[in-house]
Amino acid sequence: MAVSLDGVGHWFDGPSGRTQTLSDVNIQIQTGEFFTVLGPSGCGKTTLLNIVGGFIEAKVGDVAIFGKPVSGPGPDRGVIFQSYALFRWLSVLKNVEFALHHRKLPKAKRADVALQYLNLVGLQDFRHHYPYQLSGGMKQRVAIARALAADPKILLMDEPFAALDSQMRELLQEELLEIWQRTRKTVFFITHSVDEAVFLSTRICVMSANPGRTKALLTNDLPQPRADYRARTTAAFQENKERILGLIRDEVHPNRTWGRLP
């Protein structure tokens, strides 16, 4: 079992009281799955990813990675954030090389290996550029190359494409699927986009809001490989999307009384 969350609960204590973010979250992710957590804004998705990443601790429940309780971040988990988080003072190549530090590679080999990962995301010709010289999509590709270069067993991705325009987002989704198909890393992916979840995932956890709970766990049975835009236009894609939209809508607008004209 790559990731195991058992009865996980979490809250923040602040000056205005306690905010319960997660309650009784139960998720088991097998090695090699592309697992997506989907839920409305504020339901605790990022908090959950931070718990799996070891950046914050669950207040109750058990969190284990490959059977071992999580006690902090580790090289078995690579994280990709929405905001790219590149080192702006390092070139593209050096950003990726940085991830190789903990791998026992001779120094002379690091540039070669980093270049191979840049090749994987199509950025080998930009290796001497600095982050400020790249578009948002290119920066996110560097972040993906850097995370993969560390060779983690699990990729944790927190809305990595949310800041990109829709065409770039779809392109990177396709690239990510191809990379996943080649490397078979376990992916723990966070999004609020139903389209993104259905296109990418093998399984989807729909979260309820306030506090976030595991509302439904769904197998996404769209045929593989599907790293092609035509996969988005099939009847099966629409059916899976509709099923999830129904579940999500109940969460976002359960008893909506606001937003209606008098």
- Interface with ligand ATP by CB under 6 A: which residues? 12, 14, 19, 21, 39, 41-47, 192
Closest approach, Cβ 213 to ligand ATP, in A, equals 12
- Strand (E) or helix (H) holding 216: strand 213-219
Closest approach, Cβ 58 to ligand ATP, in A, equals 13
Q: Which of 14/223 has CB closer to ligand ATP? A: 14
Q: Which of 105/162 has CB closer to ligand ATP? A: 162
Q: Which of 123/207 has CB closer to ligand ATP? A: 207
Closest approach, Cβ 52 to ligand ATP, in A, equals 12
Strands 60-65 and 3-14, bridge-based pairing: antiparallel
Contact indicator for 59, 4 with CB cutoff of 8 Å: no
Q: Across-strand partners of 27?
A: 5
63's CB contacts (< 8 A; 6+ apart) are 4, 5, 6, 8, 51, 52, 69, 70
Closest approach, Cβ 22 to ligand ATP, in A, equals 8
Look at residues 154, 160, 156, 194 and name the one whose alpha carbon lies nearest to residue 175.
160
Q: Which of 1/252 has CB closer to ligand ATP? A: 252
